[in-house]
Amino acid sequence: MKIDLVKTREYYNLLSSDLLCDCAYCKLYYLKARKEFSELAVWLERYGVDIKKPFEVMSLEPDENGMLDYIGVQYIVFGVYSNYNSYHIGNFNIRIAYSYPSTEVSEEHFVLEVFPINSMRLSLKE
């Protein structure tokens, strides 16, 4: 991957939370992701990506104990990718996304997809 760190960091610094999904499940991810998935947050930050500002969050319905499983998260990254390698960071598999909604970004970019290897769960309870 050839990531443009300046553009990627600038994008996330300027990305207003008003532009993010405001459903309860996404808000839970924004609130807890950095603490709960700290190893992933550190890896993403190395490439200018803010874990709390995903492009797309995919989750299932909560279970009877109030636990919510996330099946994937996507992030916009500026630059180009030259291979289709996947990366393993802790309990996560990170790869180039093949399917995602329109980013509405005109500059050269790609979308990273994060999938849990075991689970990516957050509690709806405090």
The predicted structure's pLDDT at residue 123: 82
- pLDDT, tens digit, for every residue of 28-53? 999 999 999 999 999 999 999 999 99
- Tell me which of 119 and 46 has the higher pLDDT: 46
Residues 60 and 71 sit within 8 Å (Cβ to Cβ): yes
* pLDDT attached to residue 82: 78
pLDDT of res. 126: 65
pTM of the model: 0.91
Q: 87 or 110: which carries more pLDDT confidence?
A: 110
| Across 100-124, average pLDDT | 89
